[in-house]
Structure 1
């Protein structure tokens, strides 16, 4: 556990903020004066749990923060705990929608432990001329960032296993688009025959990553046709597996950007707001610069905390 200096809007009592992703869990104890007292992490993401396991996993993380002789502590949860395969499904709010709808549609989770009172933030869905899409967790991060930005239209990128591209106007989400870029890359790296020629133990080395981005941007490489040469080059020329990993990472992310550019989603000179806390954020920012796209990065943990704080204040829980 570690302290953090972040201060949120004061509330009417102590509470716990939780960002429960597919592969990880993060919780913060927030005092009534808005200061973060402590925080904790776990690798027990929602993607590995059955619905009856969530309460025990959460208590295992936050039990030291709880006292038995007080009223139930409110817990606000965003992310995959509210999915159909999660703790309790929180139905999607349909786009376009104002962010205020999130606070109005919280779902309370029945629990056995009387010390906690969990609420799950709903995701948002899109099923219109822009195509079907869903967001769960990212809506809270967007709210946290937009609260401190000027009004108007903005484009957001939230890198991850499934990268999200979201267009907003003032305090409304207009449209979203999801790419399975990270999941596809992981499948190739871990489960294809290319796994023998790739080494990502040190992440994507910048020079070879940039070459992959440049090759796709210039048209010298395309995703499918670039795959097998990675293996062949290692067999015939002894290509460094770390360099091959970085190159393929660049090709994969650049393919996502090129599809967006072709559909008018982004163009040179656009400003894209990137939200996240992983090394993947740096990769996306670097790739966008090669495409002539301006970027501004926002910390994902800070965004989640601020978004949850706003939802708690508006909902009154």
Structure 2
């Protein structure tokens, strides 16, 4: 069966590859997913992975199909490095900074969007993929100005003014949780039941500790181990406390970014819900923005602003 599209939007992550065929009216006509994320491919394998994923898709005009790609395909270790735009920057210029890798056949015409970097002594930073979601948020909420939080393996905090990203910061919160859970002494207290009894109580206690004293994070981490040895804390409580402590410390360390306005949270519903709970404790409202909706809106906007 052949699917006919106007162009294709692609989000190429480290673990997975997702594509959406967009019709002439701007609607999703077909969607495809693949486990061929950047981390599983050599540079030479990218063209084949894209060709395989988009098999059976044809362009409406009979010309090469424009494929607009965001994410890790443009990383230094990806398909073809797409140099960063430097913040502050207007995200409407993403497609103008795209690179166009060679394809072994002329059926597909891929363009890889750049990431964004920040070159400030003591605050050097990079993002790749999140900038497209931020452009999507701006497209979905015209005139938005404020702080955006993007929870994840490497959480991002960004100051957005319309389509302009003013500054941003990164917290390795998700990765730290995984490293501590699997490779540190804390693993003996967590066990295998991370959702067991006491998790909600532990999470609340961890959030409070992190929000109140983010500067004490390294010492507070050991309370996971001490609590299980001395106070009989169960694995569920310990897992909740560790999660809450890391999230609370992240938010506490970024308090100067957060005012009274509602904070959009872009990411998975489950993880954003935890951040929402933590923000509520300091009197800050939040709302969930679906990550897939944001990246699709961002890819459409990038294409539109360049035309």
With structure 1 as the length reference, what TM-score do the two structures score?
Answer: 0.86
Residue of 74, 77, 84 corresponding to 1:85: 77
Please give the residue correspondences for 1:1-317 in structure 2 after superposition, counting only pairs within 5 Å. 14-66=6-58, 70-128=62-120, 131-151=123-143, 153-198=145-190, 199=192, 202=195, 205-219=199-213, 222-261=216-255, 264-267=256-259, 269-316=260-307
Instruction: Report the CA distance shift for 1:196/1:66 in structure 2 as closer, same or farther (over 3 A).
Output: farther
Does the residue aligned with 2:156 lie in a helix, a strand or coil?
strand
After TM superposition, give the deviation of residue 298 of structure 1 in Å: 1.0
Q: 2:213·2:249 contact (CA, 8 Å) conserved in 1?
A: no
Give the number of equivalent residue pairs: 301
Give TM-score, length-normalised by structure 2: 0.89
Q: Distance in 1 between matches of 2:83 and 2:115?
A: 7
Q: Give per-residue Cα distances to partners, 1:157-182, cap 9 Å, x unaligned.
A: 11111111110223211111111111
Answer yes or no: is the 8 Å Cα contact 2:214–2:250 preserved in 1.
no
User: 3-state DSSP class of the match of 1:283?
Assistant: helix
Which 5+ residue runs of structure 1 have no aligned equivalent? 1-12
CA distance in 1, matches of 2:271, 2:82: 28
Once the two structures are TM-superposed, the CA of residue 152 in structure 1 deviates from its matched residue by 5.6
In the TM superposition, residue 66 of structure 1 has moved relative to its aligned partner by 4.7
Task: After superposition, give the CA deviation of every residue in 1:12-51 in whole Å (9 maximum; x if it has no partner).
Answer: x611111112222221111122121121223332233221
Contact 2:138/2:144 (8 A) holds in 1? no
Give the root-mean-square deviation of aligned CA atoms. Answer: 2.5
Q: Work out the CA distance in 1 between the residues paired with 2:282 and 2:103.
A: 49
SS in 2 for 1:307: helix
Q: Is the 8 A contact 2:214 2:249 kept in 1?
A: no
SS in 2 for 1:128: coil
Shift of 1:76: 0.6
In the alignment, is the contact (CA less than 8 A) between 2:125 and 2:169 conserved in 1? Answer: yes
Larger mean Cα displacement after TM superposition, 162-171 or 190-199: 190-199
Partners of 1:58 and 1:205 lie apart in 2 by 41
Q: Is the 8 A contact 2:92 2:301 kept in 1?
A: no
Structure 2 unaligned segments of length 5 or more: list them: none
Alpha-carbon distance, 1:249 to partner: 0.3
Maintained 8 Å contact 1:222/1:251: no
Q: Distance in 2 between matches of 1:23 and 1:135?
A: 16
The CA distance in 1 between the partners of 2:214 and 2:121, in whole Å, is: 33
1:237 CA drift (Å): 4.7
- Answer whether contact 1:130 1:175 (CA < 8 A) is retained: no
